[in-house]
Amino acid sequence: MQTTIKTKTTIKTGTEPKNPKTPTTQKPKKPKLQKTLIYQLYPASWGSLKAMQDFLPKIKALDVDYVWLSPIFPSPWVDGGYDVSDYRAINPRFGTMQDFDAFVAQAHKLGLKVLLDLVLNHTSTEHEWFKKSRQNDSEYKDYYLWSRYDLHWDNLFNGGRAFEYCEEREEYYLHLFDTTQADLNWENPAVIAEFQEIIDFWTEEHAVDGFRLDVCQFLSKNLRPAILKKPITIGPAGFLNYFAKPGAVQVLHQLFDHRNLFTIGEAGSLLRRDLKKFTQSHGGPLTKIFNTAIPESIDTIASFKATKIDRKRFSRLFSHFETMADYVLALESHDTPRFTSRARRSGKSILKFMFNADVQAICLYQGQELGLKNPKLPLKISAFNDRQTILQYEKALQKGEHPKSALARLRPRSRDNARQALNLEDYARQEADPNSCLTLTKRLISQWKNCSFFDN
């Protein structure tokens, strides 16, 4: 598979295929030299859009610019909503489309803009596209990445195989994450056209202001047996077949070049050149970029081993990206445990570090302004919902590790640590306390927004 996007469909359907819009040519945009504060809400820990709407005034009180909602679409909820089964609807567990419209309207009334989390790399295997693709439906058979052979790549969830055999189609489909998350084929123009329509649906019909783009650097794949370096120096088997390929940037150009939207791509690299090509100031398609490699590489979170953060490594990596104008500083998210617990530092010291950094954009995860630490989750697997933790636990048991030992090792690194509901009574107490972490956060944000590091 080539890494460039074909301009003509190769699907023979007997019906007229979907074709993507041709984006208008744009000159590289210079970043606006203004501070941007983003606040992430993880809907499952709130229960409903109404509950999140009621919290918006407190977000506004932090002087936030954009509210980012993790996926609110229908989903089997294997991976916390990042396994989407319908991109044009609201998950009933959170409410209705009317509830969503009310949320957006209230946000706009308060001067906040709304970002939806758009999962581009894969869909749930419960999505109608995949159900038709596995049946070899002529219109949908090339919506996903199929292979006649297992190409011996590793998935990114538990290191197991990344190609799953489908008896119905007698082929293997690629899933870089869970087996229920089938990777889309972005070389198919029909897939690009589908997502152009999805973006139009949310922005034109429901007033969404932009998108956070999940693992967008993985959109282009070279479907060959795993490319290996000798000695292997980076990533799992197959990693070099899809990491930051030029085709991923071209896909994002086709989706966003003709739109005036705020976009943040989730990507990860220890090299600036890998990230620059995604951003508008360097001719790329996106407004900003999250570099997940920094918080992921400073301890062994990815391997679920409890070790101390390497602070020297963190300082070195952070200083390399700090003055990159398109870079968004984010130390916590739905994908990580609380940074205070990882760094073994107080919430106040972490927040002081963040808002004294020479950065133009910062993302706060819900509750980070309170200086929250990891909760002490029970040492029983039924207390965990995070799919990655569960798969790692099962893998540990297969290797003979004792259940309590496995959970004690996995618990500090589980994504469930950050996915708990906020205690609003604690929030109110901190609001009333002039010495609280929340009060400090508001002061730090004010100082940060009124201090321009980029004027020189």
Q: What pLDDT, on a 0 to 100 scale, did the predictor assign at position 56?
A: 98
Q: Which of 107-121, 226-240, 275-289, 408-422 has the highest mean pLDDT?
A: 107-121
> Measured in whole angstroms, how far is the alpha carbon of residue 111 from the centre of its chain?
24
Q: pLDDT-derived band of residue 1, with 50, 70 and 90 as boundaries? A: very low
- Which residue do the tokens 């706060």 mark? 364
| pLDDT value of position 17 | 61
Query: At which residue do the structure tokens 């002081």 appear?
Result: 352
Q: Are strands 262-267 and 288-291 parallel, antiparallel or unpaired?
A: parallel
Let me know: does 94 contact 70? Beta carbons within 8 Å: no
Inter-residue contact 118 to 214 (CB < 8 Å): yes
Q: What is the pLDDT of residue 21?
A: 76
The percent of residues in the chain predicted with pLDDT above 90, rounded, is: 64
User: Are 370 and 397 in contact, with CB atoms under 8 Å apart?
Assistant: no
Lowest mean pLDDT among 1-10, 324-333, 361-370: 1-10
Can you give the pLDDT at residue 169?
97
Question: How high is the pLDDT of residue 452?
Answer: 59
Expressed in angstroms, the distance from the first to the final Cα of the chain is 45
Average pLDDT over residues 403-407: 92
What is the reported pLDDT for 455?
A: 40
Assign 120 a pLDDT band (cuts: 50, 70, 90): very high
E strand intervals along 70-186 = 113-119, 122-124, 146-147, 163-166, 171-174, 181-183
Q: Residue 309 has what pLDDT?
A: 64
| pLDDT tens per residue, range 340-351 | 888 888 989 999
172 has a pLDDT exceeding 80: yes
Task: Classify residue 154 as exposed, middle or buried by CB count within 10 Å of its CB (0-12, 13-18, 19+).
Answer: middle
Whether the pLDDT of residue 135 is over 80: the answer is yes
CA-CA distances (angstroms) from residue 121 to 157, 193, 217, 318, 441? 14, 15, 9, 27, 35
32-47 b/e (C-beta count within 10 Å ≥ 16 → b) = eeebbbbbbbbbbbbe
pLDDT band at 301 (very low <50, low <70, confident <90, very high): very low
* C-alpha distances out from residue 94 to 75, 98, 180, Å: 11, 11, 22
Distance from chain centroid for Cα 136: 30
On average, the pLDDT of the chain sits at 87
144 or 224: which leads in pLDDT = 144
User: β-pairing, 210-214 with 181-183?
Assistant: unpaired
Q: Summarize pLDDT for 190-239 with one digit per residue, the tens.
A: 999 999 999 999 999 999 999 999 999 999 999 887 765 544 445 688 88
Summarize the confidence of residues 126-153 as an average pLDDT.
Answer: 96
pLDDT confidence band for 307 (50 / 70 / 90): low
> Residue 297: its pLDDT value, please?
61
Helix axes 347-355, 437-449, angle to 10 degrees: 10
pTM of the model: 0.89
| CA 431 to chain centroid | 30
Predicted pLDDT of residue 235: 67
Kindly write down the DSSP assignment for every residue of 15-52, as one continuous string.
SPPP-PPPPPP-PPPPPP-S-EEEEEE-GGGT-SHHHH
How far is 285 from 297, CA to CA, in rounded Å? 26
Q: Give the whole-number percent of the chain exceeding pLDDT 70.
A: 85
